[in-house]
Chains A and B, each alone.
Chain A
Amino acid sequence: MAVDGEPVLEVTAANLRFAGEFALDAVNFRMFAGEVHSLMGENGAGKSTLIRALTGDLHLDSGKIRFYGHPLEFPNPAAAQRAGISTVYQEIDVLPNLTVAENIMLGREPRRWGFIDWKQMRVAATEALSALGVDIDPASRLSSHRLATHQMVAIARAISADVKVLVLDEPTSSLDQDEVAELFRVIRELKARGVAILFVSHFLEQVYEICDRITVLRNGKLVGEYLTPQLLRIDLVQKMLGSDANRFDILNAKQSPPIERDGRTVIVRARGIARRGRLPATNVEVFEGELLGFAGLLGSGRTELARLLVGVESIDAGELTIDGVRRRLRKPRQALHIGLAYSSENRRSEGIIPELTLRENINLALQAERGWLRRISHHRQTELTASWIEALDIRPTNPEGLARHLSGGNQQKLILARLMALAPRLIALDEPTRGIDIGAKIEIQHLITDLVDAGLTVIFISAELEEVLRVAHRIVVLRDRQIVATVNPNVATIEMLLSLVAKAEDDE
């Protein structure tokens, strides 16, 4: 239902930098009344940044925001909400210990003589709910309801003012199928009332089911705006992931031979490993000395599978065999002890210790392994640090500098150094090249292939199919938390991977 005419909300040439890096680079985006618009992109594409800029939570360095044609910028989210732009964030921000009515009317409780008018409050809440076609008792405690209801209440709170624009950030990530259907019914209702809806989700199925228009961002840049029926799923995925093919020429075809399955030792064998709410039963094998790529979109289960395989999270069901011995790994510490290491995709929250020095960061895992009583001498620490800084070419080279001052690429190297100091047998690298510039990216790819040539086994997770195809010996493709194929990169093509990742047959 493409509506031509004036957009309700429009942003042009939006620029926003964080510490010199572009978070948004000349992005255009518009929303029309009575239309569901989806913002698509991988991690770091700029989706959240754009949403926060639109709702007054962040301020653009340059660029224009127009609301019904009038240029304006909201000083804060409250001002945006007053103007009719409401946001329901990913982490549903409701208060389960309050009643449904209290949640809906939070912050604008009807008053009488300065006191809250409870009766009026329940009436208003009931109206807001019935407008969404939801029939629940407003006096009941929110915690007694399902998660989908929490979502509805959050939406009811967002729209009970006269809403023009509704932003839903990953609203379905914790809902089951029926709950999603219920949410979609509400979305359609709002759409019919002429609300412009921004629906952000990494579930392609849902985007294609509910959205009229799609805008794709990649690395803070606008890739394009498309009408959903005119954009094939496979093209969408390609646009999201991008293709840096020509820029990877420096990293030539792998020298290492492809895997001959027989005759190779299996390091990790997973039979039906699963974890509730994270990954259904999955089988996979990791061979000694291989560089195994995991390809898949955000939310495909690529991270979940890796975390279960190397014992960062424990499995609920199934069997994990490491070097032929069945193991129950409950924490990373146990896994590290038998030579399995994991480097997280969230370098800042799960990787570096920002306020500690390079030396302390690099020696952390080794020191933890030795225990606090057997401190590595300062001299030895400095030696180790210097050798890793040189081996991985970490810059700046000052071992007493703080880790937080390093760039993304160097932080990744720092984490690699920390893990390599333990001399592990297998490392799972979750998006080691995300958000770092092209030069550092190639450098890290080289480092990884060199480590594999030296006998290390690596699980390499990346959102960039090009990269996986180029680096890996074998590729496991995931979609919707399932392994859909295992591919030999010597015969596979980007198109083939794309169609596997995006489930292209639906478009035919």
Chain B
Amino acid sequence: MTRFFRSRLVWPMGALVALVLLNTISRPSFLSISVKNGQLYGSIIDILRDSAPLMLVALGMTLVIATRGIDLSVGAVMAISGAVALQFISKSTSPNRVGTVLIAIGIGVFITLLLGLWNGFLVAVVGIQPIIATLVLMLGGRGIALLITGGFITTITSSPYAQMAQGHLLGLPLAFFFSVGAIAIVGLLVRRTALGVLTESVGINPSASRLAGVRSRGIIWSIYGISGLLAGLAGILYSSNIMAADSNNAGFLIELDAILAVVLGGTSLRGGKFTLSGTVIGVFIIQTLTSTITFLGVPPAVTPVFKALVVILVCLSQSSRVRQYLGRIRHLRAAKPPIRLSGLETEVLAERKSG
């Protein structure tokens, strides 16, 4: 039990539980799930389904942040994959064939993989700061998507394509299985191979990693590739939900939600140690928050204010000064001597040990 409370996941978990409780109190139907035509319906199910694109993007963002980077281009990349896939299907003579849809998805995701590798190239090889490097595609990407669709919102009719975001499997939304699949694959990729620990090593201490012979360039490069690919898949899901390639709105500002989910989950923006399970919880927190706000009747345009409040709370809870302050209060209450080291001295100590 103590181990559970010491875990880094305890705070995000607590926040999620509190949100769910809040919802259940104000709206007892929140937890209820009904069955229609063998399919499950309810607020929780909606959250599981609607969170899928953000889940994919946030998983990639977690890895990018672990390398001390950031990927601002994910929203634009989503727009591109949707545009590519839908353009392919709309030009195809057999939009309802599964094969066509698979090829369309394949092309869309392959292109976004290349875009992710482009980001990685700028960061790892050219050495541009991640925030600037990915800003390029963030700004340019939507333009590219509009070029692909010829400036229009491409709409299609293709039942296999619609299935992805709207279909069901075993009573649950198909999109939820995309989330689960992505979590499982990324989890296996980073923890069953050495990619995770090498990423953390590069993120924590790049120069020490270099001296230990870690190929940091290759690692950072591929992580951005993974992020691009996941964003591409998210774009496919998004466009499948509305059956249109809306280049201006697909994944709009999703990079901010993704970053927020990562940080909420307990991965530090300073890079290094990361937790995928934390990110998963973070995504659910954000999705639940969005649905809560909608239910409370707050106009969607005001949603950012609530998110901003969450951001402030999260930042405060992660700030070392606030933690020390709280720690000091706790120590005082326990009638123990206060901690002598201030934040400054801790830094100096670190410096002294290093040089």
| Interfacial residues, chain A to chain B (CB-CB below 8 A) | 18-19, 23, 43-44, 48-49, 52, 57-59, 312, 331-333, 336-337, 342, 344, 346-356, 360, 364-365, 367-376, 408, 418, 422, 435
Contact = CB atoms under 8 A, between A and B. Distances in A.
Interface stretch (B82-90, B165-173, B245-253, B346-354): B346-354
Contacts of A422: 213
Interface centre among A337, A373, A375 (most CB of B within 10 A): A375
B350 A356 contact: no
A368 B204 contact: no
B204 A354 contact: yes
A301 to B, nearest CB: 18
What 6 A-B pairs have minimum CB-CB distances, sorted nearest first? Answer: A348-B354, A349-B354, A375-B194, A368-B214, A333-B213, A336-B213
Contact of A356 (B192, B197, B207, B355): B197
A342 B211 CA distance: 7
A58 B208 CA distance: 28
Contacts of A58: 344-345, 348
Nearest to B353: A348
Interface string B106-145: 0000000000000000000000000000000000000000
A394 B355 CA distance: 22
Interface in B263-277: 272-273
28 contacts: A18-B348, A18-B349, A43-B355, A58-B344, A59-B345, A331-B210, A344-B208, A346-B355, A349-B208, A349-B355, A350-B208, A351-B208, A353-B201, A353-B208, A356-B200, A356-B204, A360-B197, A364-B212, A368-B198, A368-B212, A368-B213, A369-B213, A371-B194, A372-B219, A374-B194, A375-B194, A408-B353, A418-B212
A369 B209 CA distance: 12
B205 A353 contact: yes
B215 interface: yes
A19 B344 CA distance: 13
Contacts of A367: 194, 197-198
Contacts of B219: 372
B195 interface: yes
B353 A347 contact: yes
A332 B211 contact: yes
Given A19-B349, A59-B345, A367-B197, 4 more contacts: A43-B355, A348-B353, A360-B200, A370-B194
A333 B209 CA distance: 10
Contacts of A371: 194, 215
Contact of A372 (B193, B212, B345): B193
A331 B210 CA distance: 8
A333 B198 CA distance: 14
Interface centre among B194, B205, B207, B355 (most CB of A within 10 A): B194
A400 to B, nearest CB: 13
Interface string B174-212: 000000000000000000111101101100110111111
A346 B198 contact: no
A459 to B, nearest CB: 15
Contact of B208 (A23, A43, A352): A352
Contacts of A348: 350, 353-355
